[in-house]
Protein backbone atom coordinates (compact mmCIF):
# COMPACT_ATOMS: atom_id res chain seq x y z
CA UNK A 1 0.00 0.00 0.00
CA UNK A 2 2.81 2.38 0.91
CA UNK A 3 4.51 1.70 -2.43
CA UNK A 4 1.25 2.00 -4.32
CA UNK A 5 0.89 5.46 -2.82
CA UNK A 6 4.54 6.24 -3.60
CA UNK A 7 5.26 7.05 0.03
CA UNK A 8 8.54 7.01 1.88
CA UNK A 9 8.62 5.08 5.13
CA UNK A 10 10.87 3.65 7.74
CA UNK A 11 10.36 -0.01 8.55
CA UNK A 12 10.98 -1.40 12.02
CA UNK A 13 10.90 -5.18 12.06
CA UNK A 14 9.84 -7.14 15.13
CA UNK A 15 11.05 -10.66 15.78
CA UNK A 16 7.79 -12.41 16.60
CA UNK A 17 9.53 -15.72 17.38
CA UNK A 18 11.56 -13.96 20.07
CA UNK A 19 8.53 -12.12 21.48
CA UNK A 20 9.35 -8.50 20.50
CA UNK A 21 5.59 -7.94 20.17
CA UNK A 22 5.14 -8.36 23.93
CA UNK A 23 7.59 -5.61 24.91
CA UNK A 24 5.85 -2.93 27.00
CA UNK A 25 6.79 -0.13 24.57
CA UNK A 26 5.19 -2.04 21.68
CA UNK A 27 2.08 -2.94 23.70
CA UNK A 28 1.46 0.78 24.17
CA UNK A 29 1.15 1.08 20.38
CA UNK A 30 -0.59 -2.22 19.73
CA UNK A 31 -2.36 -3.61 22.81
CA UNK A 32 -3.18 -6.88 21.02
CA UNK A 33 0.55 -7.54 20.56
CA UNK A 34 0.35 -8.12 16.82
CA UNK A 35 1.91 -6.54 13.73
CA UNK A 36 1.52 -4.33 11.76
CA UNK A 37 1.34 -0.92 13.41
CA UNK A 38 1.63 2.29 11.39
CA UNK A 39 2.76 5.57 12.88
CA UNK A 40 1.95 8.57 10.73
CA UNK A 41 2.31 12.18 11.92
CA UNK A 42 2.34 10.96 15.53
CA UNK A 43 -0.88 9.06 14.97
CA UNK A 44 -0.85 5.35 15.77
CA UNK A 45 -2.84 2.97 13.58
CA UNK A 46 -3.32 -0.76 13.91
CA UNK A 47 -5.27 -3.53 12.11
CA UNK A 48 -4.21 -3.98 8.45
CA UNK A 49 -7.66 -3.24 7.08
CA UNK A 50 -7.94 -0.03 9.08
CA UNK A 51 -4.42 0.91 7.97
CA UNK A 52 -5.04 0.41 4.24
CA UNK A 53 -8.30 2.38 4.44
CA UNK A 54 -6.53 5.16 6.32
CA UNK A 55 -3.77 5.31 3.67
CA UNK A 56 -6.42 5.40 0.97
CA UNK A 57 -8.25 8.28 2.70
CA UNK A 58 -5.15 10.36 3.41
CA UNK A 59 -3.32 9.69 0.13
CA UNK A 60 -6.21 9.37 -2.29
CA UNK A 61 -4.17 9.63 -5.51
CA UNK A 62 -3.84 7.23 -7.27
CA UNK A 63 -7.18 5.89 -6.02
CA UNK A 64 -7.50 2.23 -5.13
CA UNK A 65 -11.29 2.33 -4.83
CA UNK A 66 -13.67 1.12 -7.56
CA UNK A 67 -15.99 4.03 -8.40
CA UNK A 68 -19.09 1.90 -9.05
CA UNK A 69 -21.05 0.89 -5.93
CA UNK A 70 -21.36 -2.88 -6.57
CA UNK A 71 -17.67 -3.64 -7.29
CA UNK A 72 -16.83 -1.47 -4.31
CA UNK A 73 -19.18 -3.54 -2.13
CA UNK A 74 -17.53 -6.73 -3.45
CA UNK A 75 -14.14 -5.25 -2.60
CA UNK A 76 -15.36 -4.70 0.97
CA UNK A 77 -16.78 -8.22 1.09
CA UNK A 78 -13.43 -9.70 0.07
CA UNK A 79 -11.49 -7.58 2.56
CA UNK A 80 -13.88 -8.56 5.35
CA UNK A 81 -13.45 -12.19 4.52
CA UNK A 82 -9.61 -11.91 4.39
CA UNK A 83 -9.67 -10.26 7.78
CA UNK A 84 -12.18 -12.50 9.53
CA UNK A 85 -11.73 -15.88 7.85
CA UNK A 86 -8.53 -16.01 5.83
CA UNK A 87 -6.21 -14.47 8.40
CA UNK A 88 -6.96 -17.02 11.16
CA UNK A 89 -7.00 -19.90 8.66
CA UNK A 90 -3.67 -18.97 7.08
CA UNK A 91 -2.34 -18.40 10.60
CA UNK A 92 -3.32 -21.89 11.77
CA UNK A 93 -1.88 -23.61 8.69
CA UNK A 94 1.34 -21.56 8.67
CA UNK A 95 1.77 -22.29 12.35
CA UNK A 96 1.10 -26.02 11.93
CA UNK A 97 3.37 -26.45 8.90
CA UNK A 98 6.24 -24.07 9.67
CA UNK A 99 6.21 -21.88 12.75
CA UNK A 100 5.69 -24.48 15.46
CA UNK A 101 8.89 -26.22 14.39
CA UNK A 102 10.77 -22.93 14.59
CA UNK A 103 9.21 -22.17 17.97
CA UNK A 104 10.25 -25.58 19.27
CA UNK A 105 13.81 -25.04 18.08
CA UNK A 106 13.98 -21.67 19.83
CA UNK A 107 12.10 -22.42 23.06
CA UNK A 108 12.00 -25.02 25.81
CA UNK A 109 8.54 -26.43 26.73
CA UNK A 110 8.50 -24.07 29.75
CA UNK A 111 9.32 -21.09 27.53
CA UNK A 112 6.48 -22.12 25.20
CA UNK A 113 4.07 -21.99 28.15
CA UNK A 114 5.32 -18.49 28.97
CA UNK A 115 4.87 -17.49 25.33
CA UNK A 116 1.26 -18.69 25.26
CA UNK A 117 0.50 -16.96 28.56
CA UNK A 118 1.58 -13.64 27.04
CA UNK A 119 -0.81 -13.84 24.05
CA UNK A 120 -3.41 -11.16 24.75
CA UNK A 121 -6.47 -12.49 22.92
CA UNK A 122 -7.72 -15.72 24.61
CA UNK A 123 -9.15 -17.12 21.36
CA UNK A 124 -5.83 -16.60 19.57
CA UNK A 125 -4.00 -18.15 22.54
CA UNK A 126 -6.20 -21.26 22.46
CA UNK A 127 -5.91 -21.58 18.68
CA UNK A 128 -2.13 -21.29 18.74
CA UNK A 129 -1.78 -23.70 21.64
CA UNK A 130 -3.92 -26.37 19.97
CA UNK A 131 -2.07 -25.99 16.70
CA UNK A 132 1.28 -26.08 18.47
CA UNK A 133 0.61 -29.44 20.09
CA UNK A 134 -1.60 -31.08 17.45
CA UNK A 135 -0.19 -29.62 14.21
CA UNK A 136 -2.17 -30.50 11.10
CA UNK A 137 -4.12 -33.05 13.18
CA UNK A 138 -5.85 -30.16 14.99
CA UNK A 139 -9.54 -30.02 13.93
CA UNK A 140 -9.04 -26.30 13.25
CA UNK A 141 -6.50 -27.14 10.51
CA UNK A 142 -9.06 -29.13 8.52
CA UNK A 143 -11.60 -26.35 9.01
CA UNK A 144 -9.02 -23.81 7.82
CA UNK A 145 -8.51 -25.70 4.55
CA UNK A 146 -12.27 -25.68 3.89
CA UNK A 147 -12.48 -21.97 4.67
CA UNK A 148 -9.60 -21.13 2.33
CA UNK A 149 -11.13 -23.26 -0.39
CA UNK A 150 -14.37 -21.26 -0.18
CA UNK A 151 -12.66 -17.87 -0.15
CA UNK A 152 -10.45 -18.80 -3.12
CA UNK A 153 -13.62 -19.75 -5.02
CA UNK A 154 -15.19 -16.39 -4.14
CA UNK A 155 -12.06 -14.54 -5.21
CA UNK A 156 -11.98 -16.44 -8.50
CA UNK A 157 -15.66 -15.84 -9.15
CA UNK A 158 -15.46 -12.10 -8.41
CA UNK A 159 -12.37 -11.65 -10.56
CA UNK A 160 -14.03 -13.33 -13.53
CA UNK A 161 -12.48 -12.03 -16.73
CA UNK A 162 -11.18 -8.83 -15.11
CA UNK A 163 -7.46 -8.19 -14.66
CA UNK A 164 -7.95 -7.37 -10.96
CA UNK A 165 -10.25 -8.74 -8.28
CA UNK A 166 -12.86 -5.98 -8.50
CA UNK A 167 -12.58 -4.73 -12.06
CA UNK A 168 -10.08 -2.77 -14.10
CA UNK A 169 -8.17 -1.13 -11.28
CA UNK A 170 -5.83 -2.55 -8.69
CA UNK A 171 -7.97 -2.01 -5.56
CA UNK A 172 -7.69 -2.43 -1.81
CA UNK A 173 -8.96 -5.99 -2.33
CA UNK A 174 -5.90 -6.87 -4.44
CA UNK A 175 -3.57 -5.22 -1.92
CA UNK A 176 -5.25 -7.09 0.89
CA UNK A 177 -5.34 -10.49 -0.86
CA UNK A 178 -1.77 -10.56 -2.20
CA UNK A 179 0.15 -11.58 0.95
CA UNK A 180 -2.42 -14.21 1.91
CA UNK A 181 -2.60 -15.89 -1.50
CA UNK A 182 1.18 -15.85 -1.75
CA UNK A 183 1.48 -17.44 1.69
CA UNK A 184 -1.14 -20.09 0.84
CA UNK A 185 0.92 -21.01 -2.21
CA UNK A 186 4.20 -20.99 -0.26
CA UNK A 187 2.91 -23.41 2.37
CA UNK A 188 2.06 -25.97 -0.30
CA UNK A 189 -1.66 -25.26 -0.72
CA UNK A 190 -1.61 -23.78 -4.23
CA UNK A 191 -3.49 -26.89 -5.34
CA UNK A 192 -6.59 -25.17 -3.93
CA UNK A 193 -6.79 -23.31 -7.24
CA UNK A 194 -5.50 -25.97 -9.63
CA UNK A 195 -8.86 -25.84 -11.42
CA UNK A 196 -9.04 -22.02 -11.28
CA UNK A 197 -6.39 -20.65 -13.67
CA UNK A 198 -7.62 -17.08 -13.08
CA UNK A 199 -6.06 -17.12 -9.61
CA UNK A 200 -2.52 -17.83 -10.83
CA UNK A 201 -2.97 -15.40 -13.69
CA UNK A 202 -3.96 -12.72 -11.13
CA UNK A 203 -1.12 -13.65 -8.77
CA UNK A 204 1.46 -13.35 -11.57
CA UNK A 205 0.08 -9.89 -12.39
CA UNK A 206 0.36 -8.88 -8.72
CA UNK A 207 3.95 -10.14 -8.54
CA UNK A 208 4.85 -8.20 -11.70
CA UNK A 209 3.36 -5.05 -10.19
CA UNK A 210 5.08 -5.49 -6.85
CA UNK A 211 8.42 -6.09 -8.60
CA UNK A 212 8.15 -2.59 -10.07
CA UNK A 213 8.15 -1.08 -6.56
CA UNK A 214 11.87 -1.82 -6.25
CA UNK A 215 11.54 -3.13 -2.72
CA UNK A 216 14.19 -5.32 -1.24
CA UNK A 217 12.73 -8.81 -0.77
CA UNK A 218 9.03 -7.85 -0.90
CA UNK A 219 8.06 -11.49 -0.31
CA UNK A 220 10.77 -12.36 2.22
CA UNK A 221 14.40 -13.43 1.88
CA UNK A 222 15.67 -16.47 -0.05
CA UNK A 223 16.69 -18.12 3.23
CA UNK A 224 13.14 -17.63 4.56
CA UNK A 225 11.69 -19.29 1.45
CA UNK A 226 14.18 -22.16 1.65
CA UNK A 227 13.25 -22.72 5.31
CA UNK A 228 9.51 -22.67 4.50
CA UNK A 229 9.98 -25.06 1.55
CA UNK A 230 11.90 -27.48 3.76
CA UNK A 231 9.06 -27.59 6.31
CA UNK A 232 6.44 -27.93 3.58
CA UNK A 233 8.41 -30.88 2.20
CA UNK A 234 8.46 -32.54 5.59
CA UNK A 235 4.69 -32.13 6.01
CA UNK A 236 3.86 -33.06 2.40
CA UNK A 237 2.12 -36.36 3.23
CA UNK A 238 -0.01 -34.75 5.95
CA UNK A 239 -0.88 -31.79 3.71
CA UNK A 240 -2.01 -34.14 0.95
CA UNK A 241 -4.11 -36.17 3.39
CA UNK A 242 -5.78 -33.01 4.69
CA UNK A 243 -6.54 -31.77 1.19
CA UNK A 244 -7.95 -35.13 0.16
CA UNK A 245 -10.25 -35.27 3.17
CA UNK A 246 -11.46 -31.69 2.95
CA UNK A 247 -11.89 -30.97 -0.75
N1 LIG B 1 -6.19 -8.48 12.45
C2 LIG B 1 -4.80 -8.14 12.61
C3 LIG B 1 -4.01 -9.41 12.73
C4 LIG B 1 -2.55 -9.17 12.93
C5 LIG B 1 -1.76 -10.45 13.19
O6 LIG B 1 -2.33 -11.48 13.59
N7 LIG B 1 -0.44 -10.41 12.98
C8 LIG B 1 0.41 -11.56 13.24
C9 LIG B 1 1.45 -11.69 12.16
S10 LIG B 1 0.72 -11.95 10.60
C11 LIG B 1 1.15 -11.35 14.55
O12 LIG B 1 1.52 -10.24 14.87
N13 LIG B 1 1.38 -12.42 15.33
C14 LIG B 1 2.08 -12.33 16.57
C15 LIG B 1 1.76 -13.47 17.50
O16 LIG B 1 1.02 -14.38 17.10
O17 LIG B 1 2.24 -13.46 18.65
C18 LIG B 1 -4.33 -7.27 11.43
O19 LIG B 1 -4.79 -7.51 10.32
O20 LIG B 1 -3.54 -6.35 11.64
Task: Give the pLDDT confidence of 2-33 residue by residue, as tens digits.
Answer: 999 999 999 999 999 889 999 999 999 999 99
Measured distance CA(242)–CA(189) in Å, rounded: 10
- Ligand 1 pocket test, pick from 14, 30, 34, 184 with the greatest ligand atom count within 8 Å of Cβ, gives 34
Residues 162 and 201 in one domain: yes
Measured distance CA(70)–CA(162) in Å, rounded: 15
Beta carbon of 51 within 6 Å of any ligand 1 atom: no
**Mean pLDDT of all residues in the chain?**
95
**10 within some domain:** no
Beta carbon of 85 within 6 Å of any ligand 1 atom: no
Question: Is the model's pLDDT at 247 over the cut of 90?
Answer: no
Residues 105 and 191 in one domain: yes
Beta carbon of 34 within 6 Å of any ligand 1 atom: yes
Return phi, psi of residue 46, to 5°: -135, 170
**147 within some domain:** yes
Q: Can you tell me the mean pLDDT for 83-108? A: 95
- Residue pLDDT, tens place only, 120-142: 999 999 999 999 999 999 999 99
Query: Residue with the nearest Cα to atom 16 of ligand 1?
Result: 34
Are residues 55 and 2 in contact, defined by beta-carbon separation less than 8 angstroms?
yes
Residues 167 and 196 in one domain: yes
What's the whole-model pTM score?
Answer: 0.94
**7 within some domain:** no
Measured distance CA(181)–CA(190) in Å, rounded: 8
Residue 34 Cα distances to 135, 163, 167, angstroms = 22, 32, 32
Question: Is the model's pLDDT at 74 over the cut of 80?
Answer: yes
- The gap between the terminal CA atoms of the chain, to the nearest Å, is 33
Q: Can you tell me the mean pLDDT for 147-172? A: 97
**198 within some domain:** yes
Residues 194 and 85 in one domain: yes
Give the chain's domain count. 2
Residues 132 and 224 in one domain: yes
User: Within a 10 A sphere around the Cβ of 30, how many other Cβ atoms?
Assistant: 18
Residues 25 and 144 in one domain: no
CATH number of the domain that residue 31 is part of: 3.40.30.10
Measured distance CA(93)–CA(10) in Å, rounded: 30
Residues 100 and 39 in one domain: no
Lowest mean pLDDT, pick from 93-97, 104-108, 155-159? 104-108
Residues 213 and 102 in one domain: yes
Query: Residue with the nearest Cα to atom 2 of ligand 1?
Result: 47
User: Within a 10 A sphere around the Cβ of 231, how many other Cβ atoms?
Assistant: 19
**6 within some domain:** no
Residues 94 and 188 in one domain: yes
11 three-class SS = coil
Beta carbon of 30 within 6 Å of any ligand 1 atom: no
- Residue pLDDT, tens place only, 26-71: 999 999 999 999 999 999 999 999 999 999 999 999 999 999 999 9
**84 within some domain:** yes
**11 within some domain:** no
Kindly report each contact of residues 101-108 with a partner whose C-beta sits within 8 Å and lies 24 or more positions away, as own/partner.
101/231, 102/17, 102/227, 103/17, 103/132, 106/17, 106/18
Give the list of residues 6+ apart from residue 168 with CB closer than 8 angstroms, or none: 162
Q: Which domain holds residue 138?
A: 69-246
Residues 44 and 75 in one domain: no
Residues 44 and 139 in one domain: no
CATH number of the domain that residue 146 is part of: 1.20.1050.10
- Residue pLDDT, tens place only, 184-240: 999 999 999 999 999 999 999 999 999 999 888 888 889 999 999 999 999 999 999
Question: Is the model's pLDDT at 246 over the cut of 90?
Answer: no
**123 within some domain:** yes
Residues 93 and 207 in one domain: yes
Beta carbon of 48 within 6 Å of any ligand 1 atom: yes
- State the Cα angle at 195 between 74 and 157, rounded to 5°: 15
Amino acid sequence: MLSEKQLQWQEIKLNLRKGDQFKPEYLKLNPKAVVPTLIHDDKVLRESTVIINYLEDVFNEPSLLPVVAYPRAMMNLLIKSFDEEVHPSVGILSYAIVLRHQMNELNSPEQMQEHFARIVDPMRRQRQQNTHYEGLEAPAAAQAVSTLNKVISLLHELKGENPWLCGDIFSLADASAAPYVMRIRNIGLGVLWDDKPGVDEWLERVIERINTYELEDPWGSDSFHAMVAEHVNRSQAEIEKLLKERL
